[in-house]
Amino acid sequence: MRTLGAILLPLFFFFTTLAQVGDNPTALLKKGIALHDKGDYAGAIKIYDEILKQEPDNTEVLYEKTFSLMQQGSYQECADLCKDILKRFPDNEFNKGTYINYGTALDHLKKPEEAIKVYSEGINKYPNHYLLYFNRAVTENIYKQTDNAIADLKKAVSLNPSHTTSHLYLGLLMSSSNKIAAMMSLSAFLMIEPEGQRAARALPQLLNLAGSNVEKKDEKNITISLPSKLVDSTVKMEDDFRSTEVAMSMLAALDFDKKNSKKNVAEKLSEKLSMIIGIISERKDSNQTGFYTSFYIPFFKSLKDNGYLETACYIMCTSADEKDVKKWISKNKGKIDELYSYMRDYKWTVPTN
């Protein structure tokens, strides 16, 4: 018996040690995050609660729990926990995400004013965190605060020019007030995210803007209808691209000419963007100001000046159902890789206003 006991006792401590190592907070946290990523939010929350029994002040675990609660649809519980975290641990490193989860939960609870207040508090504390501006913009747009939403989306893309959704939403919101500006945002989105359902919806919107104000009545008649605001010189505005829009409409009318019938969608888009960039960047008017003038125009001008604009337009048109476009993309992988390398190194001009 003593011999057996001597064998069993070390084995007991061996397996106990293994269990302790396997169930340490770090290992459990990884397990909880893995369950969350698989969509098992309840399972993840259960593990987070196990950790919090041992370490009730573990702010990383508390943050992950708010994320799982939100994804699970437990919005009130998520909001309550976020509020408690921000009160007890006002300076912890995960609070950027906590503010976002808190505001999102309040959005789902139909409390937009409270959500905007939370995002604003987060922005005051973390003024360079683009997702706080983006999330506030989403709430503002839903509740018809369009100007505020546009301002926040501009801030979001200036802080993170790679954030595709900010470019997309900004383009959509600008489409009714400034078509040239909207085209720039949608073009930037499609360059970064040229495939998928969102791209398939964004490309027709971009092409419609590029061909707007022009209608083919029949085989012999093409009508260009310019909104009154395009020719009203008394109206002052930033990013005043009205004369450029008029020129674009004239060029769009030529799309119906037989000489242009063989051009594919990317070629036509490239012509229009090249003209837009040329007119705006060469304008001598020193009073021309605005976010698009200082942020987007230098980027697209750099593409044109460095010979990348055509490649960019083919990338934008990836989701177009045209054989010529697909063929070009298939044969020019090198040009596409070169453009993306250029984009990674490009230093965006961040507006100061």
pLDDT digits (tens, 9 = 90+) for 190-226: 999 999 999 999 999 999 888 776 555 555 566 655 5
Q: Which residues contact 94 (CB under 8 A, 6 or more apart)?
A: 59, 60, 62, 63
Q: How far apart are CA 78 and CA 106, in angstroms?
A: 9
Q: Which residues contact 322 (CB under 8 A, 6 or more apart)?
A: 264, 265, 266
Tell me the domains of the chain and their CATH numbers: 21-160 (1.25.40.10), 194-353 (no CATH)
Alpha-helical runs (H) found in 160-196: 164-174, 179-192
* Residue tagged 């906590």 (tokens): 98
Average pLDDT, the chain: 85
Read off the pTM.
0.85
Q: Give me the sign of the Cα torsion angle 138, 169, 202, 182.
A: positive
Question: Which pLDDT band holds residue 2 (cuts at 50, 70, 90)?
Answer: very low
Q: How far apart are CA 289 and CA 275, in angstroms?
A: 19
Question: Which pLDDT band holds residue 332 (cuts at 50, 70, 90)?
Answer: very high
Q: How far apart are CA 102 and CA 115, in angstroms?
A: 7
Check whether 265 has a pLDDT greater than 60: yes
* Residue tagged 């069993």 (tokens): 8
Q: Which residues of 226-250 are buried (b: 16+ CB within 10 A; e: fewer)?
A: eeeebeeeeeeeebbbbbbbebbbe
* 3 state DSSP class of 325: helix
Q: Which of 184-198, 226-240, 307-321, 339-353 has the lowest mean pLDDT?
A: 226-240
Where does residue 66 rank: exposed (0-12), middle (13-18), buried (19+ CB within 10 A)?
Answer: buried
pLDDT digits (tens, 9 = 90+) for 33-46: 999 999 999 999 99
Higher-scoring residue by pLDDT: 6, 207? 207
Cβ of 22: how many Cβ atoms within 10 Å?
10
Q: With CA atoms as reference, report the closest residue to 175 among 140, 143, 201, 136.
A: 201
